[in-house]
Structures are given as structure tokens and as C-alpha cells.
A and B are shown apart, each in its own frame.
Chain A
Amino acid sequence: MILKIVFFGFVTLIGISALVLLGTRKVLYAAFSLLLILLGISALYVFAGADFLAVTQIIIYVGGILVLLLFGIMLTNRPPQNLSIRFSNPFQQDETSDVQPVTKTRNNLAGIVLGLGLLAILVFAIYKANLGQMPWIKQAVQNQQVIKQSTVQGLGIQLMTQYVLVFEVIAVLLMVALLGAVLIAGRTEKKTG
């Protein structure tokens, strides 16, 4: 019962944060609601018994990608439009003193229609697939031991045996991307004159 309340608590958190993410025009607020969404999803992974995936989600998305995103937004901080704001009365509440980068909303109608359409298709597909009746899920439900086990060992062995080629290819790809980034960033412009 408590588990159910916690589960739906996280679902509501994700839902509300997603709505904020879509609704807000301030990029930074969007980034922070993305933080809540990512944390909520990793909590849902824990409910699904995927402990390693949940922690990896936090390390990669929150610790890595989101920080990079925030860094980008903060470096593009928009300066005040007119100089008078900088010298205005500090005790005066001023809307224009807001220096957050703000985005415009475009294609509202098309976006809503597209999103709802996708949702309808997904709901229909999931309903049709009837996941609860799938044999492997039924088996897992009966065998509680599978659910309680940690996934770390299984993942490690699979990665080092069956999927070792894919694993290595991804490693090389990431290495190439890293070297490429260093090459682009480290290129010094030739001095003119």
C-alpha cells in the first residue's frame, strides 16, 4: 500500500514536472524540471527492480548531461536590454530586471496535436499488447527471486561475453568523439597581422 502511494507520488511528480517543462518559457526552469523528471524516472527504475540502471541514469543524465546543459544556459545569460536597468532603484520590483534566457513558444497547435496523437498511438499499442499476459512477465511475477536479485552481476557478465563487440565499438566511438571534441576546441586561430 505504501509502495503504491510512493509509486504514484513519483508518477505525479514526473507528470507535473513534464507539464512545467513544456509550459515554462524560461529555459533554466525547464532544465530544473528536467532534473526532477530524470530523478523521478530513476525512482521508477528502482520500482522495476533495475537498481543498476537507476543509479546509472542519475550518474549519466543528472551528473553529466544536465550539468552540461545548465552550464550552456548559464554561459548564454542574456544581458539587460537597456543600460538604465543596471542603475535603477534597487528597491523597485522590476519585471525587466529578469536576465534569464527566455524562449518563444511556436507551433502551439501543431505541437499539441502531434503530442496527443503520439500518446493515443502509444496507449492503444500498449493496451493491444496486453503486457500482463506475456509469458515471461508471468514467470517473473511467480518467481519472486528474480525480482529481488541485483542486476549488476548479470549485466556485467552479458556485457563481457555476448555483447562484448557492441561494448567495444561503443567505447571506440566515445573515444573518437572525445578526441574530436579536443581537436575542435584546441584549434588555435592563426594570428593575423
Chain B
Amino acid sequence: MIAFLIFLPFVLTFALIGVYVERKVSAFIQDRMGPMEVGPMGLLQTLADILKLIQKEDIVPTNADKWIFKIAPIIIFVAVFAGFAAIPFAPELIGSGAAVGLLYVLAIVSLDVIGILMAGWASNSKYPLLGAMRSVAQIVSYEIPVGLVVLAVVMITQTLDLQDMSFQQGIWVQSHPAHTQDTNYLFGLKALGVDVTHWGGFFSWNIVRAPFLIIAFVIFFIGTLAEANRAPFDIPEAESELIAGFHTEYSGIRFAMMMLAEYAMMLLVSFLAVILFLGSWNTPLPNIGAVQLATWTSGAPGTVYGYITGAFWLMSKTFVLVFIQMWVRWTYPRLRVDQLMYLCWKVLIPFAIAIVLLSGIWRLWMV
């Protein structure tokens, strides 16, 4: 319930600001001004846009399958939004403390595919159908490398619980009931004998605890970019070929829901990347001798200061990733279908399998 009350307004605001930032970032990259008219620096542009979309007529094509056409955007958004239930927002602040949280997020997000198929099929028009086909083929294939690198992280952290994973990556590891005796070693290697449990900061992040997870992080980032249908993997909605892909026939509030789902998906996968690889809600600053940067910048779990710093660090890292997603979108050209499949099956998956094997070996050295 807490997660619902926090995340619903958060996701809505994020989508509003996200669209604005995206337009500004693209404008900056293309040496334009971007939205400038509505409000100072165009700040109110997306608010005006959403007001316009809400007022618009909700058009359902005559030959469309009415029920499925109307339900599809709702299913897409609900599927993505349900994923937020298992995201730990700060220490001890999580919607569902389910022990299978990570698996749940991966499962519920795969419902998104059904919504896209419904939208594409129910529109009864060629562009949406082609877009939906491409989208589903892409999402289903990219789930494999993503699933494999997530498996590697699970092998390192030995848990599917996202909150547990977060605790392991910071100075508060020993305040988690399951890890009171745990110590973090430099690069996770016990043989090195450098105890970094009280250093905290980035030394206890997963990508430093097991350095090869940097490659896993890159694979995860590429894979989730494809799952969110973002450029350079936006062939499902390639404007120059398919108009707008699976949401070509949508207008008004239902189109707004599709956009909302896309931005919510960007946010969700960035959250997941931060939790899995970049230390979750832990501070990036380590304790250096008397300069206790980590202790100063992250409060103890359960205290008000702990909530504030946890949410702050989690969100700032997430927003950096979202910004990189936008940056990539406006920098790289779109991939062709065969290049897309080549990248997934012949590059990402072999690397992902090698990482799974390596993480098994690394885990043996960690204890």
C-alpha cells in the first residue's frame, strides 16, 4: 500500500518530467532549443500536452476489436506498474518483501508483451500488427541475456530478495538479520584479505565485489533498453517504417497511457539495474579513515535520515541511468532486424553464459 501511494504519483510525475527532459536532451544533442514557449524554458510544455491528450476524443477504429483495443493500454501500464511493488525505495521501505521479489519483477514485466500483442492485433491494421510482432520477437529474445545476467547476480548475492541484495551492497550489511556475521572483501576475494565491510561506498557494490559484473551490467543495460523498446532498439515503433508501431491507432488518453508505460518501463529497468549492480540505495562515497563519508551520507536503516538518504541515492543513480538511456537514443542509429537478432543471440547470450559460469567460480572464492 505504501509502495502504491509513493510510486503512483512518482511515476506520473516522472513521465511528465521525463518527456520534457527527453525533448530538451534531444534538442541539445541536435543543437536546437527544444520546447521554449509554454512556461519558463518550456517547463510546462508536457503538462499542456497531457491536458490536451486527456481532452481529446477517444477514437476506436471501426474495424478494431473494441474490448481488446480498449483494455490493451491498461494491461500494458498495469503490468509495468505492478513491477514497482517489489522495488526497495529505501532501507526498510518496500512494497512487497516477498523472498522472490526479483523473479516477480521479471515475471510481471513479461505481461507487458501480452498487452502489446493485444494492442497490435486489436487495432486490425497492418502497421500495429507488424509493430507488435517485431516488439514481441524482440522482447522475448532479449529476455534471455537479461535473465542470464540477473542469474549471475543472484549467484553472487545468493538471494532473490531485492531488499536483501541492497543490504549486502553497503555499510549496513550487518544490520540485516540474515547477514549479521557477513564481511565484504575487496573484489569479493577472501584471499586478498582486505576487509571493506566498514569502508562501504562503491567498494561494496556488486560491480566491484565481482568486477566481471561490469560486463553483466552492460549486457543488462542493452537488454533492458531493447525490452523497453527504446532506440537504438526501437524497430517496433520505427517512425520511418511503421508510423508508430503497435500504438499507431491510439489517440487521446489511451495513447497517453502507452507513453506513460514506456517511461515507467525505463524507470523500472533503471531501478532494477541500480539495485542489482550499482549498490541500490547505498551511498557511493566510502569511509576513508577518519573521514567517514559513507556513515555521514547514509543514515541507519529505520531512521528518518536513513529513509531520506536511501531514497536520494537510489533516485539519483536511477536518473543518471535514465539520462544515459536518452543519450543513447539520440546518438545511435536504429538497428536493422537481422543486426538486432545477431547482437542478441551471437554476442550477448554467449557473453552472458560465460558470466554465469564465472560468477559460480567467483562465489566459491568469496567465502
Using Cβ atoms and an 8 Å threshold, which residues of chain A touch B114? Answer: 35, 62, 66-67, 70
Using Cβ atoms and an 8 Å threshold, which residues of chain A touch B65? Answer: 28, 100
Segment at the interface with B among A50-58, A103-111, A135-143: A50-58
Q: A74 contacts B124, CB within 8 Å?
A: no
B98 CB contact (under 8 Å) in A51, A70, A100: A51
Q: From A97, which residue of chain B is reached at the shortest CB distance?
A: B63
Q: How large is the interface on B (under 10, 10 to 19, 20 to 34, 35 or more residues)?
A: 20 to 34
Q: B136 contacts A71, CB within 8 Å?
A: yes
Q: From A52, which residue of chain B is reached at the shortest CB distance?
A: B100
How many A-B residue contacts, CB cutoff 8 Å? 66
Using Cβ atoms and an 8 Å threshold, which residues of chain A touch B110? Answer: 58-59, 62-63, 67
Known: A32-B118, A74-B133. A59 touches B100 (CB 8 A): no
Interface string of B90-111 (1 = CB under 8 A from A): 0000000011100110111011
Using Cβ atoms and an 8 Å threshold, which residues of chain B touch A51? Answer: 98-100
Using Cβ atoms and an 8 Å threshold, which residues of chain A touch B173? Answer: none
Is there a chain B Cβ closer than 8 Å to A87's Cβ? no
Interface residues of B in 103-141 (CB under 8 A from A): 103-104, 106-108, 110-111, 113-114, 117-118, 121, 124, 129, 132-133, 136, 140
Is there a chain A Cβ closer than 8 Å to B62's Cβ? yes
Known: A32-B118, A71-B136, A74-B129. A152 touches B111 (CB 8 A): no
Using Cβ atoms and an 8 Å threshold, which residues of chain A touch B113? Answer: 63, 67
Nearest-CB distance from A168 to chain B (Å)? 16
Using Cβ atoms and an 8 Å threshold, which residues of chain A touch B136? Answer: 67, 71
Using Cβ atoms and an 8 Å threshold, which residues of chain A touch B100? Answer: 51-52, 55, 150, 152
Q: From B98, which residue of chain A is reached at the shortest CB distance?
A: A51
Is there a chain B Cβ closer than 8 Å to A91's Cβ? yes
Q: A63 contacts B68, CB within 8 Å?
A: no
Is there a chain A Cβ closer than 8 Å to B165's Cβ? no
Q: From B106, which residue of chain A is reached at the shortest CB distance?
A: A59
Is there a chain B Cβ closer than 8 Å to A161's Cβ? no
Q: A67 contacts B140, CB within 8 Å?
A: yes
Is there a chain B Cβ closer than 8 Å to A93's Cβ? yes
Q: From A60, which residue of chain B is reached at the shortest CB distance?
A: B107
Is there a chain A Cβ closer than 8 Å to B160's Cβ? yes
Interface residues of B in 297-349 (CB under 8 A from A): none
Is there a chain A Cβ closer than 8 Å to B143's Cβ? yes
Is there a chain B Cβ closer than 8 Å to A99's Cβ? yes
Nearest-CB distance from A84 to chain B (Å)? 14
Known: A59-B110, A67-B136. A32 touches B103 (CB 8 A): no
Provide a sorted-by-A list of 14 A–B residue pairs whose CB atoms are within 8 angstroms.
A51-B100, A52-B103, A58-B108, A58-B110, A63-B110, A67-B113, A67-B136, A67-B140, A71-B117, A90-B62, A91-B62, A99-B124, A152-B100, A152-B160
Q: Which B positions have Cβ atoms within 8 angstroms of A?
A: 62-63, 65, 68, 98-100, 103-104, 106-108, 110-111, 113-114, 117-118, 121, 124, 129, 132-133, 136, 140, 143, 160
Q: A56-B103, A67-B140 are in contact. List 9 more A-B contacts (CB 8 A).
A: A28-B65, A52-B103, A59-B106, A62-B111, A63-B111, A63-B143, A67-B110, A74-B129, A152-B99
